[in-house]
Chains A and B, each alone.
Chain A
């Protein structure tokens, strides 16, 4: 059974960089084909796709966040990570990592989510 778990600071100061890691168990992130994504949800609001890294390491980002986002993978630790720079209060949200099998076209496994608050 595949499991995903987000980790990282729950509080980030404005203008700093938000850094989160998703640890995957029950399968290798380098085997696929899968896309490993970050998705966020501000309190009381809908879901927003942030970006993805493929099993082979290629990345794509939401155009509205592209200038501030970097997603990378560490196959030795079976993890992928999110860096979001120059954060503001608008970046306060629950951040989820999720898996998208390219053969199915849906997010079939999700982490439980982690709340990140941007505040001084």
Chain B
């Protein structure tokens, strides 16, 4: 059982928007602004899409956005494209001892 809770699946048609949630506790998501989102295509390493809740690394399309409210973080993908179909994992800093926890992952399907 993963420390952070994500829905196992999400879907949307091309051009639509989809939001994936990530629920933790006050010891991780709610306690720090170090929530990240990773995209993983089959057989590939994860790639960071969002860091520090809402920041995008260079090269990540602005169709990807992140937010947080209380113990729940969210990733929104706008203007869905076929290449967005992948698994998405959230993670959160959880203090100096536990360091980082991950969600169980959400499989995003572009219909």
- A residues engaging B (CB < 8 A)? 35, 37, 45-49, 52, 60, 62-63, 96, 100, 104-108, 110-113
Contact = CB atoms under 8 A, between A and B. Distances in A.
A96 B45 contact: yes
Contacts of A48: 102
Contacts, number: 62
Contacts of B104: 45-46
Majority DSSP secondary structure for residues of B touching A:
mixed
A110 B36 CA distance: 14
B99 A104 contact: no
Given A104-B52, A108-B57, A49 B101 contact: yes
Given A46-B2, A63-B98, A108 B48 contact: yes
B96 interface: yes
Majority DSSP secondary structure for residues of A touching B:
loop
Interface string B55-77: 00100000000000000000000
A79 B88 CA distance: 29
23 contacts: A45-B104, A47-B38, A47-B91, A47-B105, A48-B102, A49-B100, A52-B99, A60-B97, A60-B99, A100-B100, A105-B32, A105-B34, A105-B36, A105-B51, A106-B52, A106-B91, A107-B36, A107-B38, A107-B91, A108-B51, A110-B46, A110-B47, A112-B44
